[in-house]
Amino acid sequence: MTDSTRLFLRGVVPTGLTLGNAVAGFGALVSVHRFSPHDLESWSNIYLAIGLLMLAMVFDALDGLVARLLRCANDFGAELDSLCDGISFGLVPAYLMFVVFTQPDSASSSAIWGLVASLYLAGTLLRLARFNLERTRQDKADGKKFVGLPSPAAAGCICGIVLIQGRMVLDPPFATWIPGFSEGMVKMALVACPIAAAFIAFLMISRVGFPHPTRKILGPNRPQNKKGRGRWVPSSVALVALIGFTPVWIRSLDMMIALAFWWFALNGPFQALLRKIQKKSPFIELPAKLD
């Protein structure tokens, strides 16, 4: 490989992948803008937007990996990556849930979802700003761990609740068996989804630890803590079982995507709670009595 080719690869390929993240996010934003709640056929624009967000996640996973492989990771690439993440995984999911869940001609619905979307966007930007300040310290401590829910996973959770809403609107399960089931589920979603989105925003700015999937699978091997080894294994087996049985009764990919992202988001707090419980001993050691 010539020096000019090496310089081209180091200077263009990682940056191009990072910019691909932002371009895919912009395409998703345009697609969401074309959605009309009065037209069921326009849900195809929502599915296209979610597909483009998944593509943005692929670009986001590859740019850092390629930069490390080419040994050209630098502060410029890290800052550009955060800017692109703010577009694709902050602005677009916030606008997506605002457009999908806001009830037409309802001022209260617009106010509620405007507040929730703003909280989510603010949480994403704070998460990315903190990551930029702490990334060197985190890489030295444990390159396979995030502090706080990563913004791509948070965007996946928002896409998950939107996909569930689309299923309830277009093809609700058990609708033929239980009269009024779909209408009840849609009304329930209007209450549960704002709470879920606010919870995701909180997880992003929390200090809960989450694994780095790309580095765990494709990154270099690093020594692991014996206590932490296998900590995610039982829940991972449960996830595989859930995803495996999902097509049996749901027969769709959208619910599988929602399950995967929400498993990742909920498993972090669950593992943190489990570690706290394990640290507390249930027995109190009493001094021995002398006869």
Query: What's the pLDDT score for residue 277?
Result: 83
Q: Is residue 289 part of a domain?
A: no
25, 56 Cβ separation under 8 angstroms: yes
Query: What's the pLDDT score for residue 229?
Result: 47
Domain membership of residue 54 as a residue range: 8-220
Query: What's the pLDDT score for residue 209?
Result: 87
Q: Based on the number of CB atoms within 10 Å of its own CB, is 41 exposed (0-12), middle (13-18) or buried (19 or more)?
A: exposed
Q: What is the mean pLDDT of each run of 10 residues along the chain (291 residues)?
A: 67 89 97 90 93 95 86 85 95 95 83 94 94 68 73 95 85 58 68 91 92 62 49 52 52 80 90 80 50 45
Q: Is residue 45 part of a domain?
A: yes
Residue 84's contacts (CB-CB under 8 Å, 6 or more residues apart) are 18, 19, 21, 22, 25, 60
Q: Is residue 34 part of a domain?
A: yes
Q: Is residue 254 part of a domain?
A: no
Q: Is residue 152 part of a domain?
A: yes
Q: Is residue 151 part of a domain?
A: yes
Domain with residue 161: its CATH number is 1.20.120
Q: Is residue 126 part of a domain?
A: yes
Query: What's the pLDDT score for residue 228?
Result: 47
Q: Is residue 1 part of a domain?
A: no
Q: Give the 3-state DSSP-derived string for the chain, with helices as H, strands as E and coil as C.
A: CCHHHHHHHHHHHHHHHHHHHHHHHHHHHHHHHCCCCCCHHHHHHHHHHHHHHHHHHHHHHHHHHHHHHCCCCCHHHHHHHHHHHHHHHHHHHHHHHHHHHCCCCCHHHHHHHHHHHHHHHHHHHHHHHHHHHHHHHHHHHCCCEEECCCHHHHHHHHHHHHHHHHHHHHCCCCCCCCCCHHHHHHHHHHHHHHHHHHHHHHHHHCCCEEECHHHHHHCCCCCCCCCCCCCCHHHHHHHHHHHHHHHHHCCCHHHHHHHHHHHHHHHHHHHHHHHHHHHCCCCCCCCCCCC
Query: What's the pLDDT score for residue 8?
Result: 67
Query: What's the pLDDT score for residue 56?
Result: 96
Q: CA-CA distance, 253 to 64, in Å (whole number)?
A: 28
Q: Based on the number of CB atoms within 10 Å of its own CB, is 195 exposed (0-12), middle (13-18) or buried (19 or more)?
A: exposed
61, 96 Cβ separation under 8 angstroms: no
Cβ count near 137 (within 10 Å): 9
Query: What's the pLDDT score for residue 171?
Result: 72
Query: What's the pLDDT score for residue 131?
Result: 87
Query: What's the pLDDT score for residue 143?
Result: 53
Domain count across the chain: 1
